[in-house]
Structure 1
Amino acid sequence: MPDDFLIRAGLAGIGLMLAAGPLGAFVVWRRMAYMGDATSHAAILGVALALAAGLPVAAGTVVVALLVALAVTVLSNRGRAADTALGVLAHSALAFGLVAVSFLPNVRSDLSSWLFGDVLTVGTAELLWIWGGAGLVLALLVWRWDALLTATVNEELAQAAGIDPARERLVLTLALALVVAVALKIVGALLIAAMLIIPAATARALSRTPEVMALWAVVLGAISVVAGLWASLAFDTPAGPSIVAVSALFFALSLVPARAR
């Protein structure tokens, strides 16, 4: 029988993928990979602010992630290129976060856990938070699925159907901020975007409908979590990067039949 900490780690990773799989599909469809990267990098600033204020880390990451998304929207509306705005905000937030953490006592030694995750130390309370947050994101995506899909395919068609594309973008932004807060403990700020993008990109080669692609992203992500934890235990490698590495191997394998066809 696996040890309790391995069971909790596996459950935490699977819980994350229940939300990250469908959300990652929208990230791939909408070409929001850079937005996911910027939001995850900004999470370090949220960690620093939360620790300095004595608030829950999840609250700090959600707030900062939403502020970054809002700032990108404002800059884009003022004529700035979205990718430029995302690049500036992502790296600036990461830099300010790392600087802020350096002023906090007893945090510098634990910084790697926020950057690369520390899923093997997930406790029962954190497991409940991860499943609760992931469940909330999943419920939000299921509720808005048709509207989100229509706005993703064609914004003019969405407007004709009475759907506000800006509202649907806000829904995705909120979901992305919540997933970042949930995933921070599992794969860390530097690797969150990978677990959003890679399983969904792999699932694209196996799917013919949006719903099937979202389901495959969940399944592939969950398998990557279990296989990555096994590899971490067998080869004494960091758990978070091991999970992402296995996911990347699945993506590489998915390219083989596509090339053959």
Structure 2
Amino acid sequence: MNKPSAIVVGVGAEQGLGAALCRRFARAGHHVLVAGRTPARLETVVAGIAAAGGSAEAVVADATREEDVARLFARAAAPGEGIAPVDLVVFNAGNNRHVPFLELEAALIEEFWRVGCLAGFLVGREAARLMAPLGRGTILFTGASASLRGKPGFAHFAAAKAGLRMVAQSMAREFGPAGLHVAHVVIDGGIAGERLLSRLPDLARDRGEDGLLAIDAIAETYWQIHRQPRSAWTHETDLRPFKETF
């Protein structure tokens, strides 16, 4: 029997959500295409998966570039001997920082939109082109608190994330009847990964035990969404630490 395969777009640090997703899918038996912009980081994730007995390969791709996304999915469409076409795709690319509204420039708005929304559209479109004819598969989008509400200093981020949420909703309504499970996961809290902990080293201490979202716990939810029976599909779910206000 051919090994199933998955794509995770937006893989960076080894202790980040993208890498945790790759490890979870590999542990479940998938061959994982580990996609991101930094070759060294991708190879570190792939090496870790291989050391644990899993199967993965690195694909350098900038998800804001249409030709890169098309090349990634062309690779997924011809996975090689013993590997089945992809049945699970996650769009996890994103960036964020605080910028006061009056200091925003058009170029920054466009940059955030390209990473947070346009790239998601490109990945979603190519995933649907590949999987819809097969009548099965899961496409998951990583959202944020800003997908639902804009906060002061984050208009650029909220605009991109809200747009991505609408892409996911439109895809779910169009492709659900064709057998594709499209879901949007709102990450409503800080993630205990390398990016946040390196920038705000005191945050984990201040939040206390389980005050941040653990990357492996988030990855488990993504996997469970993929495994849902089609008679009871989730389109949107939100995840936050038990201490997080909302």
TM-score by length of 2: 0.32
Normalized per residue, the structure richer in strand is 2
Larger Rg: 1
Q: TM-score, normalised by structure 1?
A: 0.30
**RCO higher in structure (CA 8 A, sep ≥6):** 1
